[in-house]
Amino acid sequence: MKVQIEIDCTPQEAREFMGLPDVAQANDMYVDAMTKAMKGMTNPEQLQDFAKQLAPMGQFGLKMFQNFVEGGMAAGSGGAKKKG
């Protein structure tokens, strides 16, 4: 038996329902800081240097984070993978 439930709500309503905090103010501050940091970058080399500062572990760090997120999603779904 397959049951499908569709919930129509705003992101704010979903956060409240799941008990998650509202991070809109922190996000706005982050976007402002990133915008200020990127002003004056006129060539790709400057942007590449900035990206290296943000991700000191580079590709390895990104892969570790991706594995962390995927592991959390698998644990949240009971560890079962869909067969296709």
Give me the helix-helix angle, 24-38 and 44-54, nearest 10°.
Answer: 140
Do the domain assignments include residue 81? no
* 9-50 pLDDT per residue, tens: 998 898 888 888 888 888 888 888 878 877 877 777 877 777
Asked whether residue 40 is assigned to any structural domain, the reply reads: yes
In a domain, 67, yes or no: yes
How many folded domains does the chain comprise? Answer: 1
Residue 56 counted as domain residue: yes
- Residue 8, pLDDT score: 94
- Flag whether 70 is in a domain: yes
79: left (phi over 0), alpha (psi -120 to 50) or beta: left
Backbone region of residue 6 per phi and psi (left: phi > 0; alpha: psi in -120 to 50; beta: other values): beta
Spatial distance between the Cα atoms of 38 and 47, rounded to a whole number of angstroms: 8
Q: Is 80 among the domain residues?
A: no
- Structural domain boundaries, residue 29: 11-75
- Domain assignment present for 84: no
Residue 4 lies in a domain: no
